[in-house]
Amino acid sequence: MSGPEAARHLVLVGLMATGKSTVGRILADALGRPLRDSDDQVEAMTGRSVRAIWQTDGEAAFRLFETAALAEALAEATPSVVAGAGGVVLAEENRVLLAADHVDVVWLRAAPETLVARVTAAADEHRPLLDDDPAGMLERMEADRRALYESVADRIVDVDDRTPDAVAAAILEDGS
Ligand code: S3P
């Protein structure tokens, strides 16, 4: 990594369970950068869990914290790896932040079936949207958000048949 690329934050976006946090940790370690994980940031800044904020204050309130977390991460002078939350592309304000020159956005793209298999195998404490009908919800979210992820992405990496290490390697090979 050299030249102007060296100063850019590397931001991972994509639906829940595409591996943003896991791949983000691998990339941060490989690049020697801090990792900023959106849900962790929100929990640290509020002292509350994502689920508690969602249940007590509602989704709109949670989305404001999500925007604050993104703005805080991207305002850091030290280039970081950012694991964005799945909904980070919903607000136009966030999409403007992601379009900045000092931000390199990678969309971790997956078929909904891949994600359904993953979320039903894992505890989803911070994913209240998946409480009732995870398969249906992930399919709807994929349809609703696909164009938004594409609009902010500098690069796209398909994750369906890749391990987190292989996804991270593909991102590094592609010149983050
Ligand atoms: C959400 C994704 C979750 C979490 C919240 C809402 C979404 O984060 O922020 O449950 O709207 O896609 P992850 O993508 O890290 O699971």
What CATH number has the domain bearing residue 22?
A: 3.40.50.300
- Backbone angle region of 156, left / alpha / beta, with phi > 0 → left and psi within -120 to 50 → alpha: beta
Q: Which domain holds residue 33?
A: 3-175
Shortest-distance Cα residue to atom 16 of ligand 1: 16
What is the chain's alpha carbon radius of gyration, rounded to the nearest angstrom?
Answer: 15
Does residue 6 register a pLDDT over 80? no
Number of domains the chain is built from: 1
Q: For residue 87, report the distance from its CA to the centre of ligand 1, in Å.
A: 6
Does residue 5 register a pLDDT over 50? no
Distance CA 70, CA 89 (A): 11
Q: Is the CB of 63 under 6 A from ligand 1?
A: no
Does residue 120 register a pLDDT over 80? no
What is the predicted pLDDT for the residue at 137? 94
Task: Kindly tell me the sign of the dihedral angle through the C-alpha atoms of 63, 65, 70, 75.
Answer: positive
- Residue 4's pLDDT band, with cuts at 50, 70 and 90, is very low
- Residue 1's pLDDT band, with cuts at 50, 70 and 90, is very low
Q: Indicate the top mutation candidate among 18, 115, 119, 126 to test ligand 1's pocket, ranked by most ligand atoms within 8 A of CB.
A: 126
Sheet of 81-83: strands edge to edge?
35-37, 81-83, 9-13, 103-109, 155-158
Shortest-distance Cα residue to atom 15 of ligand 1: 85
Shortest-distance Cα residue to atom 12 of ligand 1: 86
pTM as predicted:
0.94
What is the predicted pLDDT for the residue at 132? 87
What is the mean predicted confidence (pLDDT) over 132-137?
91
Question: DSSP class of residue 125?
Answer: T
What is the mean predicted confidence (pLDDT) over 79-101?
97
What is the predicted pLDDT for the residue at 7? 76
Q: Indicate the top mutation candidate among 11, 15, 25, 39 to test ligand 1's pocket, ranked by most ligand atoms within 8 A of CB.
A: 39
